[in-house]
Amino acid sequence: VAAMANQDPETLDALNRIIAAAEPFVHGGTRAVLGEGPVGAPLAFVGEQPGDQEDVQGRPFVGPAGQLLDRAMAEAGVDRSRSYVTNAVKHFKFEQRGKRRLHQTPTAGEVKHYRWWLIRELEFVQPRLVVALGATAVLALAGKALPIGRSRGSAQFLDGFAGFITVHPSYLLRLPDEAAKREAYAAFVADLVQIHALAA
Ligand code: URA
């Protein structure tokens, strides 16, 4: 991607063509899953990387975590179709185990490698607020690792974007007991209500 820095796309579509044509920088990675949503969207949501379903379908946040995000957005009154949704890393990093493709967390170096694309996307979209979903997005947007629990809420990201830090929806899916899950989901919806108000 560093080599791409001397290419200077003039539109989001042109940038996306560069991203789509680039070699994956992570292990596994088949196709690039591009960001989705209108230029000028008030809200941009940044996840970690596409998962198995996203890689198959070629769209961000369409698997289990995406379905939970959809539900929480709808409950909070956030219109996904009017939001921009993308990932810090554009390829699915995985290890093959039999028939299963096991998600692997990208390294800080990999996140940094993909960062140029992410920032360019956001510069084209010009959202009022950039939402970091979980630790990898925070690493990409804040340029350093921050504890989500203590950093949750409004934030200033590198490159001058007004930001908001919240959990990744897959964290909610991984919680072991139902009561904890319900509570964490409610807190996530409350964050989205706040996010919606901040971008209004
Ligand atoms: N998790 C992410 O971070 N992004 C996706 O697109 C899907 C799951």
Pairing of strands 100-103, 94-97: antiparallel
CA 197 – CA 136 distance, rounded (Å): 24
Residues 153-176: tens digit of each pLDDT = 999 999 999 999 999 999 999 999
Residues 29-50: tens digit of each pLDDT = 889 999 999 999 999 999 999 9
Residues 86-106: tens digit of each pLDDT = 999 999 999 999 999 999 999
Indicate the pTM of the whole model.
0.96
Q: Which atom of ligand 1 approaches the CA of 136 most closely?
A: 3
Whether ipTM > 0.90 holds is yes
Pocket around ligand 1: residues whose beta carbon is below 6 Å from it? 47-51, 54, 60-61, 63, 65-66, 87, 170
pLDDT of residue 5: 54
Distances (CA, A) of 167 to 46, 105, 130, 191: 11, 15, 14, 9
